[in-house]
């Protein structure tokens, strides 16, 4: 079952069309990275899913239930961490979470065990200091604990690692991985390495549209052209490779030229080179396929859209 389904979502602020028919789905039980540059419309999408903004067109469903603007009943199933969560600085973590539990009507007998469990999940179990002295990363982790307190079926995090140092980002990503055991997670971000580290699926939002979506494996595989190298074991093998594949570019390596580069080759090109090497008994040290990264995917997808729209491609 899908935790979230968005079809044809449109949103305009005045004359600016921010979302131009956004469509994607998030399967239950996964971590979903929602990728886009700053200002791409990620927060607008998330706030519309939460019923905080009124959509101009399209459909949104959370576990099959339609989302409505305002007091939408789908939010009973959703936990939310905004990009800059606010707290009462004079409270401790347990005092703050007890307040949140009281506000949401959690029975008193359940509060202690659930609060302890959530603080353990986000790595704040032994923290007794007041929130006012917390780092931003610690506040973000407390925000995750608060968002998970009532056992939501879907957790939405808006830029949870933004403006954090590497250690703070690691702590947040570890907390999200730990939370996956009990909820589906969507986190919006422009930090591609964070998505690569913990996500099962991702979608790229650009210019108000989803330009690429799929599992991480699918996203890595979709790039049709990549560079690959063939390193010859000796000068004779190098000369033979150069004769057979004149489009390959000689590259300087330590000890002299011994590597040939095929720019923007496809999988069939790579297989053809390896087949020829075997058939001709050419002595090579290695053949190296340059793996596609999520950054490759992002730049390719964004550049393609910009080119089609008549703008300079991003490279």
Report in angstroms the alpha-carbon separations of 224 from 96, 129, 264, 270: 51, 52, 8, 12
> What pLDDT does residue 313 have?
36
Q: What is the pTM of this model?
A: 0.76
Ranking 104-118, 128-142, 143-157, 255-269 by mean pLDDT, the lowest is 255-269
Answer whether residue 74 shows pLDDT above 60: yes
Name 181's Cβ contacts closer than 8 Å, sequence gap at least 6: none
> What pLDDT does residue 23 have?
97
C-beta of residue 285 within 8 angstroms of C-beta of residue 233 = yes
Answer whether residue 311 shows pLDDT above 50: no
The residue with greater pLDDT, 224 or 50, is 50
Classified as helix, coil or strand, 46 is: helix
Answer whether residue 69 shows pLDDT above 50: yes
Instruction: Phi first, then psi: give them for residue 185, nearest 5 degrees.
Output: -125, 130
Pick the CATH number of 2-221 from 3.40.50.1010, 2.60.120.20, 3.40.190.10, 3.40.50.300: 3.40.50.300
Answer whether residue 312 shows pLDDT above 60: no
Mean pLDDT of 134-145: 93
The residue with greater pLDDT, 305 or 33, is 33
Tens digit of pLDDT for each residue in 200-249? 999 999 989 999 999 988 887 655 556 777 888 888 888 888 889 888 88
Choose from 9-23, 213-227, 273-287, 297-311 the range with maximum mean pLDDT.
9-23
Mean pLDDT of 26-48: 94
Answer whether residue 308 shows pLDDT above 70: no
Dihedral angle over CA of 141, 144, 145, 149, nearest 10: 180
Report in angstroms the alpha-carbon separations of 276 from 119, 137, 244, 257, 260: 59, 54, 9, 21, 14
Task: Round to whole Å and give the CA distance between 261 and 143.
Answer: 49
Ranking 64-73, 87-96, 182-191, 220-229 by mean pLDDT, the lowest is 220-229
> What pLDDT does residue 194 have?
92
C-beta of residue 44 within 8 angstroms of C-beta of residue 307 = no
> What pLDDT does residue 252 have?
66
Residue with tokens 């949104």: 60
Q: Is the dihedral of CA 121, 122, 128, 130 positive or negative?
A: negative
> What pLDDT does residue 291 have?
63
- Rounded to 5°, angle at Cα 183 from 180 and 184: 85
Answer whether residue 66 shows pLDDT above 90: yes
Q: What is the mean pLDDT of the chain?
A: 87
| DSSP secondary structure string for all residues of 175-219 | HHHHHTTTSEEEEEES-HHHHHHH-SEEEEEETTEEEEEEEHHHH
Answer whether residue 49 shows pLDDT above 60: yes
Answer whether residue 135 shows pLDDT above 50: yes
* Residue 309 binned pLDDT confidence (cut-offs 50, 70, 90): low
Q: Terminal CA-to-CA distance of the chain, rounded, Å?
A: 37
Pick from 218, 213, 212, 166: nearest CA to 193: 166
Residue 291: burial class (beta carbons within 10 Å; 0-12, 13-18, 19+): exposed
Task: Round to whole Å and give the CA distance between 11 and 17.
Answer: 6
Map out the domains of the chain as residue ranges. Answer: 2-221, 224-289
Considering the chain, what percentage of its residues have pLDDT values greater than 90? Answer: 58
CATH 3.30.70 fits domain 224-289: yes
Mean pLDDT of 62-89: 93
């Amino acid at each position: 079952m899908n935790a979230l389904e968005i079809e044809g979502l449109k949103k305009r602020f005045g004359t600016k069309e921010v979302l131009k028919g956004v469509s994607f789905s998030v399967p239950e039980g996964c971590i979903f990275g929602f990728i886009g540059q700053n200002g791409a419309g990620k927060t607008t999408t998330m706030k519309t899913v939460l019923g905080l903004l009124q959509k101009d067109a399209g459909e949104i469903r959370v576990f099959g239930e339609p989302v409505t603007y305002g007091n939408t009943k789908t939010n009973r199933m959703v936990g939310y961490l905004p990009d800059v969560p606010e707290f009462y600085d004079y409270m401790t973590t347990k005092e703050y979470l007890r307040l949140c539990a009281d506000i949401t009507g959690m029975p008193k007998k359940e509060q202690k065990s659930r609060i302890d469990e959530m603080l353990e999940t986000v790595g704040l179990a032994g923290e007794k200091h007041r929130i006012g002295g917390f780092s931003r990363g610690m506040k973000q982790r407390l925000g995750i604990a608060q968002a998970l307190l009532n056992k939501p079926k879907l957790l939405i995090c808006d830029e949870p690692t933004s403006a954090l140092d590497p250690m703070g980002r690691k702590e947040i990503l570890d907390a999200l991985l730990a939370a996956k055991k009990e909820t589906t997670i969507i986190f919006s971000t422009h930090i591609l390495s964070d998505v690569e580290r913990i996500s099962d699926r991702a979608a790229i939002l650009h210019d108000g549209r989803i330009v690429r979506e799929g599992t991480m494996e699918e996203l890595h595989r979709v790039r049709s052209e990549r560079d690959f190298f063939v390193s010859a074991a000796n000068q004779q093998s190098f000369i033979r490779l150069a004769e057979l594949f004149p489009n390959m570019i000689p590259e300087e390596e330590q000890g002299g030229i011994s590597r040939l580069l095929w720019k923007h080759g496809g999988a069939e090109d790579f297989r053809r080179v390896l087949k020829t090497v075997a058939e001709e008994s050419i002595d090579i040290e290695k053949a190296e396929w340059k793996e596609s990264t999520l950054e490759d995917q992002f730049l390719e997808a964004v550049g393609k859209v910009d080119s089609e729209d008549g703008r300079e491609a991003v490279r």
